[in-house]
């Protein structure tokens, strides 16, 4: 059975599941080049079909994630197009007057704001939605939205409407969490926690093997929304830069964060396993802005992260006590908080915690496709997430000619061995590696990566000066062999973390050896643990680096210019190399050399 998974709201993307196996997945931003692109994922659908050599007529089911969320975001893409100032303006001019006059804020309000801001949007595939939704038919908006979505899918893929199945947002998160789990647990508690889903911001479910039973849902959980608005208050983009607030938190201290911590605790209380809205404030943004006026930025980040960790721990422990299960799966936007996951992992009362890679809305289509496979494909077992090398490869067609034309000022070498590449890295050179299938999700795991020697603290400055201009407080991450991770990390629960989703502390003797890939403030690291079978060539490079340095570890950051989506094809890779000052670019079997010595 062939299932096409689609997410057409925020972080839009598509995937293909064939006979229970996830065979392709790609985010629209990689193809459209608009970071955090939203809406109907036209390009990604075409691309996953092309990758798998499947015609649209062969699709058995189109699994669509979500049916009561994302209205108008698909058209106006605020997550991708809004600046910080636009978000502030939206709050000031449009939301505040409604909120403070006790009027209900509807999705149509956002629509009217965006319509005013982007009056010229005409060619959107969902444009019918604009003409059909008015203030008078508020109650019908989502029905209209879903009619338009179905019509577009039928027309685009030339398939019957019967093949389209829509799944609830939260349920997609739950199944993604369950089937992406690497160390399978027979029975577990699945918790979703996020800003907003179709009908709730938090759910509790019990999983028995592959079956999930939801037992609680609430729209009262405020933590995702609080994180979102604090991101904005700290001058960063909500819905995108929450991880930067998390990265800032370890620099703060209780001394500067006490007041913030107290404020965040006023939104919710946990009673047993229930999350209750204390309803002290009319809204999150203004109450937080007023309460924390004059508070230091790092203290706010510390207060928020500390609150998030304490909140999660209390909720998780109460769930464990009530349901007598100690294995936890977290999904939804808040599950992307790797520091909080670490905090839970470190607690002896919790046996295991799993959060899949891209556990926010960026993976909903996979959850939808697995859910459809479970319901309709009775013949095949769902294989789950074997790896995330699910995207395109760099085509060899005309590659030599393109490289020779565009890179004529540089030395070009064919088939350089990993022994040599490892040597260059150990000499401090910064190398982009573009080879094999592109990774799905926000993390580059070796195939669209910039690599450097993690032993050298100055690698960080060199990468920043050459290409990244990364925020000064954000650490870089390492790739390490799975065997190496066992020696280097403190990992009493023997967690296998192949997707950079868990932070760890290092064993003492390694802390000073890897300054390029640890958080300067809390000394933690967020590694990709790599098994040979998942990426043999990249694994071999790590082993070659180990032969020279004794460390099977490389600094690994995504290959893109600051603010761009990660490179997808050869032209983008070459252009990024040309615009930056990287020392070397590896493109399939070609190596393009700008210099072989550090400046």
Instruction: Give the footprint of Fe ion on this chain (CB under 5 A).
Output: 194, 361
Residues constituting the chain = 599
- Rounded Cα–Cα distance for residues 45 and 5 (Å): 9
The string over 15-41, giving b where at least 16 C-beta atoms fall within 10 Å of a residue's C-beta and e elsewhere, is bbbbebebbbbbbbbbbbeebbbbbbb
Cα distances from 207 to residues 190, 191, 210, 326, in angstroms, run 7, 10, 7, 12
How many C-beta atoms lie closer than 10 Å to residue 119's C-beta? 8
Q: Is the Cβ of residue 29 or residue 198 nearer to Fe ion in the bound state?
A: 198
Shortest distance, position 361 Cβ to Fe ion, whole Å: 4
User: Kind of pairing, strands 489-490 and 504-506?
Assistant: antiparallel
Are 390 and 512 a contacting pair, CB within 8 Å?
no
**How near is the Cβ of 47 to Fe ion at its closest, in Å?**
23
Considering the complex, state which of residue 197 and residue 252 has its C-beta at the smaller distance from Fe ion.
197
Question: 148-173 burial string, b = 16+ CB within 10 Å, else e?
Answer: bbeebbbeebebeeebbebbbbbbbb
Q: In what order do the strands lie in the sheet with 2-7?
A: 21-27, 13-18, 2-7, 61-65, 164-167
Paired tokens of 277: 């809205």
For every residue of 88-154, DSSP letters joined together read HHIIIIIIHHHHTTTPPP-HHHHHHHHHHH-TT----TTHHHHHH--GGGGGGHHHHHHHHHHHHHH
Shortest reach from residue 164's CB to Fe ion, in Å: 20
CB of 271 to Fe ion, least distance (A): 24
Of residues 66 and 446, the one with the C-beta less far from Fe ion: 66
CB 292 within 8 Å of CB 263: yes
- Looking at beta carbons only, is 197 or 552 nearer to Fe ion? 197
Listed residue (517, 543, 505) closest to 457, CA to CA: 517
**Cα-trace Rg, the chain:** 24
In angstroms, give the least distance from the CB of 195 to Fe ion: 7
Q: Closer to Fe ion by CB, 221 or 586: give it.
A: 221
Query: Which residue, 16 or 358, has its beta carbon nearer to Fe ion?
Result: 358
Quick check: 196 and 254 in contact, CB under 8 A? no
Query: What is the smallest separation between the CB atom of 169 and Fe ion, expressed in angstroms?
Result: 6
Cβ distance 14 to 46 under 8 Å?
A: no
Q: How far is the CB of 9 from Fe ion (least distance, A)?
A: 9
Cα of first residue to Cα of last residue in the chain, in angstroms, is: 55
Burial class (CB in 10 A: 0-12, 13-18, 19+), 561: middle
Indicate the residue among 37 and 568 with the shorter CB distance to Fe ion.
37
Whose Cβ is closer to Fe ion: residue 181's or residue 363's?
Answer: 363
77 in the Ramachandran plot: left (φ > 0), alpha (ψ -120 to 50) or beta? left
Residue 333 CB, shortest distance to Fe ion, in Å, is 6
Nearer of residues 175 and 539 to Fe ion, judged by Cβ: 175
SS3 541: helix
Least CB distance from residue 7 to Fe ion, whole Å? 10
CB of 143 to Fe ion, least distance (A): 21
Q: Which is nearer to Fe ion, 18 or 168 (CB)?
A: 168
SS3 525: strand
Q: Residue 209, SS3?
A: coil
Minimum distance of Fe ion from residue 360's CB (angstroms): 6
Of 110 and 361, which CB lies nearer to Fe ion in the complex structure? 361
Q: CB-wise, 194 or 583, nearer to Fe ion?
A: 194
CB of 44 to Fe ion, least distance (A): 18
């Amino acid at each position: 059975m062939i299932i096409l998974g689609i997410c057409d709201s925020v972080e839009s993307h598509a995937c293909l599941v064939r006979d229970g196996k996830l065979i392709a997945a790609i985010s629209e931003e990689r193809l459209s080049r608009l970071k955090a692109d939203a809406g109907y994922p036209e390009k990604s659908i075409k691309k996953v079909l092309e990758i798998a050599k499947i015609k649209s007529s062969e699709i058995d089911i189109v699994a669509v994630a979500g049916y009561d969320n994302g209205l108008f975001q698909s058209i106006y893409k605020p997550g991708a197009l809004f600046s910080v100032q636009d978000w502030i303006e939206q709050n000031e001019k449009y939301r505040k007057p409604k909120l403070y006059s006790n009027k209900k804020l509807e999705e149509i309000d956002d629509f009217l704001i965006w319509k005013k801001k982007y009056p010229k949007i005409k060619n959107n595939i969902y444009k019918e939605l604009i003409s059909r939704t008015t203030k008078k038919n508020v109650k019908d908006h989502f029905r209209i939205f879903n009619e338009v979505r179905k019509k577009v899918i039928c027309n685009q893929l030339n398939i019957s409407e019967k093949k389209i199945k829509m799944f609830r947002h939260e349920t997609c998160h739950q199944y993604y969490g369950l089937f992406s789990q690497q160390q399978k647990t027979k029975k577990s508690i699945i918790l979703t926690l996020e800003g907003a889903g179709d009908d709730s911001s938090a759910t509790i479910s019990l999983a028995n093997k592959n079956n999930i039973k939801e037992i609680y849902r609430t729209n009262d959980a405020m933590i995702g929304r609080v994180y979102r608005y604090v991101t904005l208050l700290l001058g960063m983009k909500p819905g995108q830069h929450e991880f930067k607030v998390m990265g800032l938190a370890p620099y703060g201290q209780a001394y500067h964060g006490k007041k913030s911590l107290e404020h965040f605790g006023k939104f919710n209380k946990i009673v047993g396993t229930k999350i209750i809205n204390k309803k002290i404030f009319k809204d999150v943004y203004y109450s937080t802005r007023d309460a924390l006026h004059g508070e230091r930025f790092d203290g706010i980040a510390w207060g928020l992260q500390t609150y998030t960790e304490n909140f999660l721990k209390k909720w998780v422990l109460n769930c464990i006590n009530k349901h007598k299960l100690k294995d936890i799966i977290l999904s939804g936007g808040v599950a992307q908080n790797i520091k909080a996951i670490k905090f839970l992992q470190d607690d002896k009362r919790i046996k295991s915690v799993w959060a899949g890679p891209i556990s926010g809305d960026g993976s909903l289509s996979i959850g939808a496709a697995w859910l459809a496979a479970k319901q309709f494909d009775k013949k095949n077992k769902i294989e789950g997430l074997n790896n995330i090398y699910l995207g395109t490869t760099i085509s060899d067609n005309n590659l030599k000619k393109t490289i020779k034309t565009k890179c004529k000022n540089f030395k070009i070498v064919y088939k350089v061995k990993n022994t040599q590449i490892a040597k260059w890295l150990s000499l401090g050179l910064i190398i982009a590696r573009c080879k094999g299938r592109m990774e799905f999700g926000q993390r580059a795991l070796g195939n669209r990566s910039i690599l450097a020697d993690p032993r050298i603290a100055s690698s960080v400055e060199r990468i920043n000066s050459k290409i990244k201009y990364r925020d000064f407080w954000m650490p870089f991450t390492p790739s390490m062999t799975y065997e190496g991770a066992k020696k280097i990390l403190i990992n009493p629960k023997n967690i296998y973390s192949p997707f950079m989703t868990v932070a760890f502390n290092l064993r003492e003797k390694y802390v000073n050896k890897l300054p390029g890939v640890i958080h300067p403030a809390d000394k933690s690291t967020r590694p990709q643990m790599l098994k040979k079978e998942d990426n043999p060539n990249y694994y071999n490079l790590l082993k070659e680096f180990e032969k020279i340095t004794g460390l099977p570890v490389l600094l690994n950051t995504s290959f893109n210019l600051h603010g761009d989506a990660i490179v997808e094809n050869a032209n983008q890779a070459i252009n990024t190399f040309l615009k930056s000052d990287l020392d070397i670019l590896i493109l399939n079997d070609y190596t393009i050399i700008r210099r072989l010595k550090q400046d």
